[in-house]
Amino acid sequence: MKTKKTFGEFALISEIKKSFVKAGGRLKVAIGDDTAVFEEKKGRLLLSTTDMMVEGVHFTAAQNPFKVGQKAIASNVSDIASMGGTPLYGLVSAGFRKNVSRGYVNELLKGIKKEASKYNVGIIGGDTVSSQVNIINIALLGEVTGKKYALRSRAGEGDFILVTGTLGNGAAALLAGDIYVPKIQISFAKEAVKAGIINGMIDVSDGLSSELHHLAEESKLGAFIDIKAIPLSALTEKIAAKKKKDAYTLALNGGEDYELLFTVAPKNLRKILKMGKGKTKLSVLGVMREKKLGIKYSDFNGELKILPRRGYDHFA
Amino acid sequence: MKTKKTFGEFALISEIKKSFVKAGGRLKVAIGDDTAVFEEKKGRLLLSTTDMMVEGVHFTAAQNPFKVGQKAIASNVSDIASMGGTPLYGLVSAGFRKNVSRGYVNELLKGIKKEASKYNVGIIGGDTVSSQVNIINIALLGEVTGKKYALRSRAGEGDFILVTGTLGNGAAALLAGDIYVPKIQISFAKEAVKAGIINGMIDVSDGLSSELHHLAEESKLGAFIDIKAIPLSALTEKIAAKKKKDAYTLALNGGEDYELLFTVAPKNLRKILKMGKGKTKLSVLGVMREKKLGIKYSDFNGELKILPRRGYDHFA
């Protein structure tokens, strides 16, 4: 349910969360995690999530519409992945400016179609309207077969904290005026959740620092990570150097990487590393700790510091 | 899947329809009807629909945000009703301008909550973003228990054409600078579909003329209606007179009434009228005919004329 959020957006979401339904009966998970979860029949749980992208906020008119379409699907698939689910069906709502070119619309639709096909998502419905600004909203349904799904709130004290892939790609692409189309770790997430060795999980849409805060808060724990352990891609380091930015800051606060941040009990560390071997890059970032120890990181001098929850506020 | 559509929007939708998945396997109905239909377990079918409303196009900043929120839910519930289904869960995506007031957001959310509660819809997820213009997108899931659901394409030759309630309310409210919040005929639709006496059905979101064209085309038939049979509300007649508009034109082309337009076999006419008695106003408008006879109406002089598919084009 998340493109990169602003503080104002966080405040609105918390207001919406207060207003609406609570889990109970068929509804296993309501607002507050990456997807909602409800039971359709015994042993089959449906997941649902939605994500809105607005031109001028989440993408620009100058960016490649094919990639904008791809990202719209990928960011929703990422929410399904972070529950350990399989994406099924998508509903696409699009608002287009009156003067939009047929070519732009076609490229955007092609990007949606390409990415939907990559993850076996069937687009089964939609709405197209005219708008003062281009908008794409995707609502995605997925499922969990079996009863296991991952939640943000299930990290345990002493769990190792891991992340898939490399971070900073979203921020680096933005610096280069491009859009990063992530490869969602859907198969890895399904396999690991099915094996029952993932405790807490969230996808990295708002930046590592913000997501670690979510994971720790929802699990009522503290956390410690080693900044040197954060995996950076070569491209991120290159663009950061060129633009005179700190690559680790991009990884911590940049967001839109859509990798998976998750925790495993110490006894399952070997198992999960074996599962990723040769297929999914995994990095151990730190450990979950008691809540009173706070959320901290060790910097390059080994000094322990408080990890701020970064972000920026479109509404301010 | 429809707020009132423009011709440009129709063209885009037909492009999207070409691109995406076709029904098959679990997916019983794909893009093209009021909702998609897929099977979750034997005998339980899930319905899904989505609807986007953009400020400046579908509502204005001056209109009551509570009613805007109500209408956002009601228009989606109407799509579920037109299949004979029961609404279940909603996903709300909202984009707000940076300078939006907290009061505006609260009223809009209250309207969504009030209307969701009226139809037993649980809001289970959402996304809130900042935007250059206020936007609401609702994705709604519903279900059909039993295997019966209504489609646009099942009208039969010789069927009577009926409509619930009165028409012209949406257009009249618009003329008065207001928003019409429809009462969706969900119980009537469920009962009638369950009884197996509805052949083709669609909701009147784009105006009677346009919806009759949809119904006839999807059923590969022609249609004839008597313009004098169109039910107008007293309020519509009053506002039409005040604004010097023709009330029947409002009803035919205005849209946003969210009543149900449906067909029944002649042998079931008495049964359906009995079902509506005392609860749901029903009017018989005409009959479905051979395709080659076209889509026609008899005017106030009894003259038979071609019924044009009206609309207006935001994209032109």
Q: Which of A20, A35, A40 sits opposite B123 (nearest CB)?
A: A20
Q: Given this structure, which CATH class describes domain B7-145? A: alpha beta
> Is residue A128 less than 8 Å (CB to CB) from chain B?
yes
Please name the fold of domain A152-306.
Answer: Phosphoribosyl-aminoimidazole Synthetase; Chain A, domain 2 (3.90.650)
Positions of CATH 3.90.650.10 in chain A: 152-306
Helix (H) or strand (E) holding B164: strand B160-164
Q: Report the relative pairing of strands B86-96 and B122-130 from DSSP bridges.
A: parallel
Spatial separation of the C-alpha atoms in residues A59 and B11, rounded to whole Å: 25
Spatial separation of the C-alpha atoms in residues A69 and A119, rounded to whole Å: 14
Q: What separation in angstroms does the CA of B134 have from each of A270, B85, B219?
A: 49, 30, 38
Per-residue pLDDT of chain B (316 residues; tens, 9 = 90+): 555 555 455 566 666 666 666 777 777 776 667 777 767 666 678 899 999 999 998 999 999 999 999 999 999 999 999 999 999 999 999 999 989 998 999 999 999 999 999 999 998 888 888 999 999 999 999 988 777 888 888 999 999 999 999 999 999 999 998 999 999 999 999 999 999 999 999 999 988 999 999 999 999 999 999 999 999 999 999 999 999 999 999 999 988 999 999 999 999 999 999 999 999 999 999 999 999 999 999 988 888 999 988 743 333 2
pLDDT of residue A7 exceeding 60, the answer is: no
Positions of CATH 3.30.1330.10 in chain B: 7-145
Q: How far is B303 from chain A (nearest CA, A)?
A: 36
DSSP structure class, residue B227: G
Test B139 with A91 for CB contact under 8 angstroms. Answer: yes
Spatial separation of the C-alpha atoms in residues A140 and B91, rounded to whole Å: 10
Helix (H) or strand (E) holding B10: helix B7-19
> Is residue A31 less than 8 Å (CB to CB) from chain B?
yes
Q: Which of A54, A15, A69, A61 is nearest to B55 (CA)?
A: A54
On the CB side of A169, CA atoms within 13 Å amount to 18
CB B16 within 8 A of CB B31: yes
Test B93 with A128 for CB contact under 8 angstroms. Answer: no
Confidence of residue A315 (pLDDT cuts 50, 70, 90): very low
Q: Which residues contact B25 (CB under 8 A, 6 or more apart)?
A: none
Does residue B142 sit in helix, strand or coil?
strand
CB A70 within 8 A of CB A36: no
Spatial separation of the C-alpha atoms in residues A50 and B139, rounded to whole Å: 8
CB B157 within 8 A of CB B288: yes
Q: What is the CA radius of gyration of chain B?
A: 19
A175 Cα distance to chain centroid: 20
Test B125 with A50 for CB contact under 8 angstroms. Answer: yes
**Residue B10 confidence (pLDDT):** 55
Q: Report the relative pairing of strands A122-130 and A135-145 from DSSP bridges.
A: unpaired
Spatial separation of the C-alpha atoms in residues B263 and B23, rounded to whole Å: 24
Q: Which residues contact A244 (CB under 8 A, 6 or more apart)?
A: none
Test B89 with A27 for CB contact under 8 angstroms. Answer: yes
Q: What separation in angstroms does the CA of A299 have from each of A208, A225, A248, A296, A304?
A: 15, 9, 10, 10, 7
- Structure tokens, B148: 């019966």
Does residue B252 sit in helix, strand or coil?
helix
**Residue B312 confidence (pLDDT):** 37
Spatial separation of the C-alpha atoms in residues B216 and A119, rounded to whole Å: 36
- Structure tokens, A1: 């349910």
> Is residue B141 less than 8 Å (CB to CB) from chain A?
yes
Spatial separation of the C-alpha atoms in residues B180 and B193, rounded to whole Å: 26
Confidence of residue A10 (pLDDT cuts 50, 70, 90): low
Q: How far is B287 from chain A (nearest CA, A)?
A: 30
Q: What are phi and psi of B11, to 5 degrees?
A: -65, -45
Q: Which amino acid is at A61?
A: A
CB A155 within 8 A of CB A288: yes
Helices A269-276 and A186-194, packing angle to 10 deg: 150
Strand partners of residue B31? B33
Residues A83-95 as b/e (b if ≥16 CB within 10 A, e otherwise) read: bbbbbbbbbbbbb
Q: How far is B79 from chain A (nearest CA, A)?
A: 12
CB B137 within 8 A of CB A126: no
Contact map slice: B 217-276 vs A, CB within 8 A:
none
Q: How far is A87 from chain B (nearest CA, A)?
A: 14
On the CB side of A209, CA atoms within 13 Å amount to 19
Each residue's pLDDT tens digit, A114-150: 999 999 999 888 888 889 999 999 999 998 877 788 8
- Structure tokens, B133: 């213009």
What is the arithmetic mean of pLDDT over A18-28? Answer: 70
Q: Which of A75, A93, A77 is nearest to A4 (CA)?
A: A75
pLDDT of residue A313 exceeding 60, the answer is: no
- Structure tokens, B305: 């004329």
> Is residue A129 less than 8 Å (CB to CB) from chain B?
yes
**Residue B41 confidence (pLDDT):** 64
**Residue A35 confidence (pLDDT):** 75
- Structure tokens, B244: 């010097």
**What's the whole-number average pLDDT of chain A?**
88
- Structure tokens, A242: 């060129």
Q: Which of A1, A15, A55 sits opposite B125 (nearest CB)?
A: A1
Of B192 and A19, more confident: B192
Spatial separation of the C-alpha atoms in residues B147 and B143, rounded to whole Å: 10
**Residue A66 confidence (pLDDT):** 97
> Is residue B22 less than 8 Å (CB to CB) from chain A?
no
**Residue B5 confidence (pLDDT):** 59
**Residue A145 confidence (pLDDT):** 76
- Structure tokens, A168: 């900073």
Q: Which of A41, A125, A130 sits opposite B8 (nearest CB)?
A: A130
Give chain A as a 3 state SS string: CCCCCCHHHHHHHHHHHHHCCCCECCEEECECECCEEEEEECCEEEEEEEEEEEECCCECCCCCHHHHHHHHHHHHHHHHHCCCCEEEEEEEEEEECCCCCHHHHHHHHHHHHHHHHHCCCEEEEEEEEECCCCEEEEEEEEEEECCCCCEHHHCCCCCEEEEECCECHHHHHHHCCCCCCCCCCHHHHHHHHHCCCCCEEEECCCCHHHHHHHHHHHCCCEEEEEHHHCCECHHHHHHHHHCCCCHHHHHHHCCCCCCEEEEECHHHHHHHHHHHCCCCCEEEEEEEECHHHCEEEECCCCCEEECCCCCCCCCC
Spatial separation of the C-alpha atoms in residues B45 and B251, rounded to whole Å: 33
> Is residue B299 less than 8 Å (CB to CB) from chain A?
no
- Structure tokens, A253: 């606060």
Does residue B84 sit in helix, strand or coil?
coil
Of A156 and A255, more confident: A156
Test B12 with A128 for CB contact under 8 angstroms. Answer: yes
pLDDT of residue A311 exceeding 50, the answer is: no
pLDDT of residue A227 exceeding 60, the answer is: yes
Contact map slice: B 43-102 vs A, CB within 8 A:
44, 46, 48-58, 89, 91-96, 98
Whether this model's ipTM surpasses 0.90 comes out as: no
